[in-house]
Structure 1
Amino acid sequence: MRSYAIGDIHGHLSLLQEIHDRIAADRRQTGDDEAPVVHIGDLVDRGPDSRGVVEFLRQGIEQGENWVVLKGNHDRMFAGFMRDLTHHDPGLRRELSWLHPRLGGGPTLESYGVHHAADRPLGPVHEEALALVPPEHVAFIEALPVQYRRGEALFVHAGIRPGVALASQDETDLVWIREPFLSDTRDHGFLVVHGHTAIDAVTHYGNRLNLDSGAAYGGPLSAVVIEGHSVWQLGPDGRIPIA
């Protein structure tokens, strides 16, 4: 059972298209057109073309591509803002907002034509966003699932709450958690494939696989192919085994 997975995109359409080209090359090598491609969430924020990323993925699914797109915390904050300008995501520290420079909501709205969002009163910014962000983009993001199970892998954006049954996991944990998930070494019963916590390179920790190689901060966008217990990263020249 083969699955492809892509880490946190953060508005980098050109990197996403390049990664899909690598997946297409691997498909040609294997003759497999059926394996799903799982996007691990955080489609938007910080990068230059969040609108392009959302439209690329929305159109691909609409056209029948076997893609799974998961919701990340940044995607949830974007959709929350669009529905209510006073929305504050429960996973976000109280002193921050989605439009704070650290979060990157401003570049997302900029990609839709809402300029200088972080420097202007919230009311007019929200009105412009409602006029310029296509409703189908908001609906697409709101409808994204927060987990996907396939074979021996569980795909989520951030991780899971250790010791809690999968059916009882809280959505905020699935899109926001770091600790105690990151330091937990127990066997969860499946390989947790996630992003959210940026690291230098794709890393396999035995019970989890982190795909967030820091595209949000100038790093690469990474993709892997998973076959049972085996994992390879997809490089420019093909598969690279992940220990």
Structure 2
Amino acid sequence: MRTYAIGDIHGHLDKLELAHELIAADRTACGDETAPIVHIGDLVDRGPDSAGVLRYLSAQQQTDGRIVVLKGNHEQMLDDFLTNPPGTDDAQANGYLRPGIGGRATLASFGMDPDAPAADLQRDARVHVSASEHAFLASLPLTFLHGACLFVHAGIRPGLPLEQQDPEDLIWIRKEFLESSEDHGLLVVHGHTPIERVEHHGNRLNIDTGAAFGGPLSAIVIEGRAAWLLSPSGRLPV
């Protein structure tokens, strides 16, 4: 069973479009027009065009049933920023806007002044981010099961069945998951923790190659539990 997957995008629409081109080329090469394309979350923040990424994926999903988009911690932070009334949770608002998170770059991509005070940005965001865009963001699922793989943004807590997993872990977990050599039953395909190149650890597959920090946005194809990186010259073993 074949699945395509794309790592953490972080507002880089140009890299996302290139990843989709690589997938289209692989579809043609192997003659598979049905395999889903899973976007592993962290669509927004840090990069120059988070608004464009959200609009592109929302439009793609409406016309193509193969498009799967998962929620990452950055989508959750933006959703919280848009949902909480201005001034009711200044710590949360300022947390999303602090340097390193990339929230101000996202708001700028929606046409807002990124240097405005937090309360003003939180108020104005309700105008600049449309209700349909916010609804798309808020409705993103946390997991996707396909074949021998579980797709999730950050990972899972080892030893717990999927139905008992804490949603916070699914978008935030690191150490307990990354350091575990436990067989999770399914191959867990995730992002969240940037690395230089796609890594297959047997029990998990990390596909976040740091697009947010100048690295590439990796597109992969998985067949069973084996994975290949897609490149302009074709498949490269992972």
Same fold (TM over 0.5): yes
In structure 1, what is the equivalent of residue 46 of structure 2? Answer: 46
> Which residue number corresponds to residue 229 of structure 1?
225
Aligned to 2:215: 219
**TM norm structure 2:** 0.96
State whether residues 191 and 206 of structure 2, in contact with CA within 8 Å, keep that contact through their aligned partners in structure 1.
yes
8 Å contact kept, 2:97–2:118: no
> Any idea what SS the aligned residue of 2:75 has?
helix
Q: 1:215 to 1:86 in 2, by over 3 A?
A: farther
CA distance in 2, matches of 1:9, 1:71: 12
Q: Give the structure 1 partner of residue 78 of structure 2.
A: 78
5+ long unaligned stretches in structure 2: none
Query: For residue 32 of structure 1, what is the aligned residue in structure 2?
Result: 32
Tell me the secondary structure at the aligned position of residue 163 of structure 2.
Answer: helix
Q: Is the 8 A contact 1:81 1:87 kept in 2?
A: no
| CA pair 87-100 structure 1, distance change in 2 beyond 3 A | farther
- Residues 149 and 205 (structure 1), Cα distance of their counterparts in 2 relative to 1, 3 Å cut: same
Unaligned runs of 5+ in 1: none
The structure richer in helix per residue is 2
Matched, 1:124 2:103: no
Q: TM-score, normalised by structure 1?
A: 0.94
Cα distance, 1:212 vs. partner? 0.4
Q: Pairwise mapping of residues 151-230 of structure 1 onto structure 2 (< 5 A)?
A: 151-230=147-226
Aligned to 1:136: 132
Residues 80 and 87, structure 1, Cα contact 8 Å, conserved in 2: no
Is residue 21 of structure 1 aligned with residue 17 of structure 2? no
Question: For the aligned residues, what is the CA RMSD?
Answer: 1.6
Q: 8 Å contact 1:158–1:195 — kept in the other structure?
A: yes
Alpha-carbon distance in structure 2 between the residues aligned to 1:82 and 1:95: 9
Give percent identity, aligned residues only: 52
Match of 1:5 in 2: 5
Q: Structure 2: how far apart are the matches of 1:194 and 1:159?
A: 6
Decide which of 94, 97, 100 is 1:99's aligned counterpart.
97
